[in-house]
Structure 1
């Protein structure tokens, strides 16, 4: 359901919002928001999201992982291959169906994910060091809501990816 500009709000404010979102997207892509120090930019976004999902939801097959992330199986297969090669993800056989493959975070993957999370958490702390806690909370809530609306718009058939916040 789309609103016309009279019910959606002030066109000037909406112009500012769209401009700030565009600037954010460009800067996020340029810096990759990879964290701080030596860990900065050592893990790409796709790898981070895959490892994070396996950490949160536990071992699962390619189809389940793809569905959970709102992407197709071939993309997961392509993105997970280097993670398996580098020992961050283990491929094992399904306990009930030996032909099915289950992907799980390896101990090395869990350790790397923790390193990257810590580095990214520090970056967020640095960027918002002068914000009040309630400002951080409000920004998180609004950005989560904005991302949810964007996901729903991109996947109108109801398979919108609800990106889970990383577990601290």
Structure 2
């Protein structure tokens, strides 16, 4: 017996949330150079720092990690401390405000993120291996568009909150 595939617009849209939940639970596929479960959770923090270093050049603090992940500052502090203990992050004085401590990727953190990116690509290729190339690329394009829109909404909400 096959599972019921969503057919109507409402069924498809209602199935999106649970599908995203399943994505998080199935991130450790059997691909070359797998990333451990512990390092997988560390990549949540490392990715925030990496994106800041590659993109908007904003300095990342523990508070920024907490805000971005939507967790309590004490939870973010433990996550950051774990990544520092593992050798993936280093603390440094802010160049903008010497009283603040900011986070940077260590060379080991950069290597982990490089390995994680390779793992993600291999997993994507494994999952979509029997898709037509056009479908695979269209899905990738739409996923990137979705994430960019989500980031835009998060940024606008943060700006609104800061203006209050």
What's the TM-score, normalizing by structure 2? 0.67
Cα offset, 1:95, TM superposition: 3.9
Residue segments in structure 1 that go unaligned for 5+ positions in a row: 1-10, 161-168
Cα offset, 1:26, TM superposition: 4.5
Which of structures 1 and 2 has the larger relative contact order (alpha carbons within 8 angstroms, sep 6+)? 1
User: Residues 55 and 105 of structure 1 are in contact (CA less than 8 Å); yes or no, is this contact kept in structure 2?
Assistant: yes
- 2:104 maps to 1:114: no
- 2:15 maps to 19
**Alpha-carbon distance change, 79 to 20 in structure 1, aligned in 2, over 3 angstroms:** same
What's the TM-score, normalizing by structure 1? 0.66
- 2:52 maps to 1:57: yes
Partners in 1 of 2:72 and 2:50 — Cα distance?
Answer: 19
Partners in 1 of 2:84 and 2:142 — Cα distance?
Answer: 35
What is the number of equivalent residue pairs in this alignment? 147
**Alpha-carbon distance change, 49 to 16 in structure 1, aligned in 2, over 3 angstroms:** same
Residue segments in structure 2 that go unaligned for 5+ positions in a row: 1-6, 54-58, 160-164
Partners in 2 of 1:115 and 1:45 — Cα distance?
Answer: 11
What SS does structure 1 have at the residue aligned with 2:103? Answer: strand
Cα offset, 1:139, TM superposition: 1.2
